[in-house]
Structures are given as C-alpha cells and as structure tokens.
A and B are shown apart, each in its own frame.
Chain A
Amino acid sequence: MKHPSTFKLILLILNLLMVSVLTACAPPAAEETPDEAAPEETEAMPEPTEEMVEEGGPITIMEWSGYEVTENPYLFPDFADTYTPTLESVTEYIFFAEDPEAFARIQSGVQVDLVHPCESYMGLYVEAGLMQPLDTSRIEYWDDLHPKLKEVGQVDGVQYFMPWDWGYESILVRTDLVEEVPDSWADLWDPQYAGNVMLWDSGQANYGMTALALGYEDPWEVLSPEVVEEVKQKLIELKPNVLTYWTDYTQTWDMPASGEAVLTANAWQDAYGYLVGEGYDVAYIDPAEGRMSWVCGYGILKDAQNIDLVYEFLNAAAAPSSAAGLGNWYWYGHANTAAVDLIDDYIVEFMSLDNIDVIFEETVFYQPITEEERGWLIDMWNDVKAAP
C-alpha cells in the first residue's frame, strides 16, 4: 500500500456512508401501530355523515386483501350505497395474507374492530380472550345464513363469528393426463400417481383429508395425539407421490394448467371454475369420504368502538346483495344460502347451491381448534416435511 493514511481515510468515509445509507434505506415503518386505532382524520375527506359523527369514527377491519369495500363495493352493496361517497372515511383496512399473520398482529396490540379469520383460527381468538359474542338479533338476515355454516362460527356454543365466505376443498384432476380419475381421498396414495400430486402446505388441510382417507368420519371430533401420529405416518407414506407443495392459491390455478400438477389436493372450487373457463380438461371430484369445506367469517373484537357501524357492516355482509356479489365475482360461496336466485346458473350448478342442504350433510367442515391442537398439527406437518 503506497499511502496507508489516505487509504484508511477513504475506508472510514466509505464506512460512514454505508452506515448512513443502510439506515436511511430502512423500509417505511408499518402503518399498523397501536396509535392507529384512534379514529384520525389525516387527509382531506368529504363531509362526514351524521351517523359517523354521532357514533365516533370509522371502523377498522383486519381483512384479506381483495375484500375491501372501498375497492370492491359490489361485495357489500348495502353498506357501499349508504356511505358513498364517504366510504373511505367510514372504513379503515389493515390487510393480511395469512391467518396466523392476522392473529399475531392482533395479539401484538394492533387495534381493530372487526377481524375476518377462517375456522381453524376462530378458536384461537376466543381462547385469547380477544372477542365479544355476536348479538345475532341485530343482524337482519341471520336466519337466512345456513345453520351448518353458523355452527362453524360457534366456539363453546357461543356465536362469536358470522360466517361470510365458504368454499369446498377437494381434488382437482387433469382428466386428460390420468388413466384413472380418482374418486376418493384415499386414491391419492395410489402408486400410479407417483410424482403427480400437489399438496397444500398446511398441517390442518393435510390432517383433515388424511384422517378422512384413513376412514374417520369427522377428523375434528377425533383430533388427538394418537390420531395425529397415525396421520403423520400415512402422510410420510404419501411422499413418493407428492411433486411439491403449494403455498399460494394461485399455484392451484397455474400448476394444473401447465400440467405439472395432475392431481391437486385441497384445491378450492375457484381453481376449477377458472380452468374450465380456460378450456382445460379438469374434474373437481366428489370424494367418497366427502368434500371438505372451509368457512371464514367476521368477528367483533372485545374493545371495538362504534358498534352500531360494525353491525351495519355485518348486516350488509349478510344481505342477499352481498351473496350475489361474492358468488358471481369470486366463485366463492356466501353464507346466505337462501339468496340462490341472485347467483348465476353455472355457479349454482358447480357449487350445488340449489341442493345445499343435502350437500352440506355430506361435507366435512373445518372446525375451530385450540392453540394446543393447532400446535400438534403444525409439528406433525413439519415432521412430515423433515422426513427423508
């Protein structure tokens, strides 16, 4: 080195620059801090409505991205119609991509009024003491919601969650790429399908379908360490048939389309609808052991503010107009199964909405589970993935 002191000086400056650049380039702070909870009017907004001024501010909803009424008013027409053009000032959204993310954030102190979890997580919220029971008398269309779906929203017999969206889980098959179309969950284990099966990367889903394949009528009734162990061994046996795991539902659209995933397990019916529309030879089978069904719904947090606005939203969510919006646009089921006339015929047909009572008798619904039970399923699935 010819000029050590200059070199070291340059190195020092570079170090300081790097440190300041790295700290300045930190991602913007997450919006969701506990302070967000207090209603605040930070941007120029249209004149607040009388209701809002009376009852103290917008409602904050912890929601899946894609369901927000501000971007998708057709999902909650009654609410959107009442509050347009001030929709942005009556609702505040915090988005999540997966259930555990929502639960972790609420547990860490993010304040919301409404949360939209799915059945397996509903029990966790109640167990953690976060929820208040629903006053179902305040929901006009409560009786039109299907009883089987309402049951899923009950924890220890108390109605905490109002079901809103539901869907089937079954096996999506590329009929042109198989010799024999399976007709039960147990068929996934057939050696002829080696390397053709795509499974959901979810302990709950795989426990449910494997328990059915093993012959248990209701996986959630029998949930215990012994059965979980049995399921684990059975899933390890399935591994030679499995090509890969899907983590994002769009993979259930792409992979069957490309032909890589000939059998997609625990696929939802929206994938079927999409692939049929694109002209692929697919079948969404009716397994002998029964289709499974997921159910998601809204629950009110214990410390929710502006309860009246919350119930207004829930009423709009339970209304037939919401059923039409969700059914016709998303290929998902809506809890208000009485509103079947408003839904397009081809959707009614492939979701069997006109025969729903019979279908639901044979469908296996996910149920709320406790933190401990969820731990068993997570550990089981990790052990299955770790097995060689």
Chain B
Amino acid sequence: MEHRSRIATLVSPPALFLIVLFLLPIGFMALFSFRVGTFGETRNMFTLDHYRDFFANAPLLRLLWRSLLISFWVSIYSVVLAYPIAYYLVFQGGDRKLLLLTIIIVPAWVSYLLRVLAWKVILGSTGILASFIAWIGLDPRESAFLLYSSDAVTVTLVYVWIPFVALPIFAALERIDPHLLEAAADLGCTKFEAFLRVTLPLSLPGVVAGFLFVFIPTVGEYVTPALVGGTEGVMFGNLIQDQFLRGLNWPVGSLMSLAMLAIVLVPLVVFARFFKISDIAGV
C-alpha cells in the first residue's frame, strides 16, 4: 500500500498536466475533424466527408507513406550512428564519461533552426560538399545529397537527432552489470561474441526507445523539409501546416494530424507489449 501511494503521488501532477494539455486538445482535434468548416456556421455542422476524401486521396496517402519512410530511415541511421558513441562512452569513458556525454548533448541546446540552416551551408550548390565533389572530379548536380532533396532532409534530421538517441542507449548500456561480461569471458566468449550475445540483447530496450524517440517527432516534421527539402523532400507535416495556417481548413488539418497520430501509436503499442518502462529506466 505504501508503495502504491508513493506511485500515486509520483504520477498525479504530471497526469493532470497530461490530461489537460495533451489529451483534451487531442479530443478537440478529433471533434474538429468532423466539422464542416473552421469559422461561422460551418463550424457547427458535422460531416464524414473529410474522412471520405482523405482515404480516397491516393497521392496524399502516398505522401504519408513517403514521410513515414523518411522518418524510419532517419531513425535507423540515428540508432546505428549513436550506438557506437554510447558504447564508447559507457565502456571506455571511465572518468571522462559525464564530460563526454555533456559534449554530445550541448549541440542540442543550440537553436534548432540554426542547426538546420548550417546544413544549407554545407549542402548548398556553392557549399562545402558541392565544392568537394567538384574537386574530386564529379558533377555536383548529380549528387542526391545536395540541398533540396529528400536525402538532404534525411541527413539533416539524423544530425539533429543523434544526441537524443545516444541518451537512452547510454542509459541501457550503463545498466549492464560488468560481471555479466566477465562471466561471458570466463565461459569462453570472444569480446565480439560477448557483445552480440550479452550486451546487445540487454541494451535492446534502450535501442528501441531511442528509435521511437526519433521516429515519433520526425514523422510530423515540417520545418526541415521546408528549409532543405525542395520539392522532393516535402513531408506530410508540410501539408498539415498548410491546411491549418494558410488553408484555414482546421477540420482537414485535424484529420491529417489524427491519421499521423494513429499511425505512430502502432509501434508504440507494439513496444509497450514487449518492453516495460522499467527495462529502460532501470527503476
């Protein structure tokens, strides 16, 4: 009972925060998706037309799929690149562990916009990458990574999100009892085998958490695609922003947001089934 009441106190203020500032607005959005219009009388009329039009709009659904793919690859690349960083920090960091961790996190404190714009300098047609490609003799315009492409969006997003992925992986690796690795060595494992059969499986909850850390926000990205994506890198979030801010079509915008929310919930539910929060937080 004492254990339970402690948990209850722990949860209560954030729970209220969550309900009022998160669940309630989502409820409003869901209600809006059924309205006919944004202002005036049309606001109080309800219809299923928007849903029907949305599911009938093949190019829009394909764009949603393409956005999900971009997010998916961004997440994979982020995890693959962040894992060695976290691994080094935990197993080789020693006394400098906290310092190195801080160094990784600090760039995340710089304005998001500045970090994206920095990539415009690197990837632009007169930028560093283009100059390098021209110097080694290839035609820069053929390079897919250059500015105003979906690859530019991927690269920029990976750069932005790596610090955030490194953290859960770091936490998961940190929890691994070094005695387990000693035991593995005693039983005849090589270092690599020990990694594959002990470290990696134990860090898996952190890896998946890191993956979701990136996947969920990037699905709704619109700033980065607008700045570096050009025509090819347009993502679903751009159209949602357009519907809300320029189209003033809040019902359709709400519907599109809910569609994205529903899709993102799927991996979350799957994750929740197979892993417990306690596996990651180590509580």
List residues of A whose CB falls within 8 A of some B CB: 1, 5, 7-8, 11-12, 15-16, 18-19, 22-23, 98, 100-101, 103-104, 107-108, 128, 195, 239, 242-245, 247, 258-260, 375, 378-379, 381-383, 385-388
Contact = CB atoms under 8 A, between A and B. Distances in A.
28 contacts: A1-B283, A7-B283, A12-B10, A15-B10, A15-B14, A98-B245, A98-B246, A100-B247, A100-B248, A104-B39, A107-B39, A128-B39, A195-B141, A242-B230, A259-B125, A259-B126, A260-B147, A375-B247, A375-B249, A378-B246, A379-B247, A382-B242, A385-B234, A385-B239, A386-B60, A386-B234, A386-B239, A387-B59
B131 interface: no
Interface string B217-232: 0000000001001110
Contacts of B39: 104, 107-108, 128
A244 B246 contact: no
A103 B148 CA distance: 32
Contacts of B234: 385-386
A103 B247 CA distance: 11
Contact of B248 (A11, A19, A103, A383): A103
B18 to A, nearest CB: 10
A99 to B, nearest CB: 9
B10 A385 contact: no
B3 to A, nearest CB: 9
Contact of A19 (B14, B246, B247): B14
B27 interface: no
Contacts of B282: 1
Given A103-B248, A243-B230, A382 B243 contact: yes
A343 to B, nearest CB: 33
Contacts of B247: 100, 375, 378-379, 382
B9 interface: yes
A122 B14 CA distance: 45
B10 A100 contact: no
Contacts of A1: 282-283
A382 B234 CA distance: 10
Contacts of A375: 247, 249
A385 B125 contact: no
A11 B10 contact: yes
B17 interface: yes
B63 interface: yes
A98 to B, nearest CB: 7
B276 interface: no
Nearest to A241: B231
A19 B9 CA distance: 13
Contacts of B238: 385
B114 to A, nearest CB: 16
A385 B225 CA distance: 12
A19 B16 CA distance: 10
Nearest 7 pairs of A and B residues by beta carbon: A244-B230, A386-B63, A378-B247, A107-B39, A386-B59, A244-B148, A19-B13
Contacts of A100: 245-248
Interface string B1-26: 00000100110011001000000000
A381 B9 CA distance: 51
Contacts of B57: 383
A278 to B, nearest CB: 16
Interface string B56-98: 0101101100100000000000000000000000000000000
B188 interface: no
Contact of B17 (A23, A108, A260): A23
B137 interface: no
Interface in B143-169: 147-148
Given A104-B248, A195-B141, A386 B17 contact: no
A12 B245 contact: no
Contacts of B239: 382, 385-386
Contacts of A385: 231, 234, 238-239
A356 to B, nearest CB: 31
B59 A378 contact: no
B126 A19 contact: no
Given A1-B282, A16-B13, A388-B62, 20 more contacts: A11-B10, A12-B6, A23-B17, A107-B40, A128-B39, A195-B141, A239-B231, A242-B230, A243-B148, A243-B231, A260-B124, A260-B125, A378-B243, A378-B246, A378-B247, A382-B239, A385-B231, A385-B239, A386-B239, A387-B59
Nearest to B231: A242
Contacts of B66: 388
Interface in B235-261: 238-239, 242-243, 245-249
A128 B38 CA distance: 12
A245 B63 CA distance: 17
Contact of B124 (A195, A258, A379): A258
Nearest to B61: A386
A23 B17 CA distance: 9
A47 to B, nearest CB: 41
Contacts of A260: 124-126, 147
A83 to B, nearest CB: 35
Contacts of B40: 107, 128
A148 B40 CA distance: 32
B245 A258 contact: no
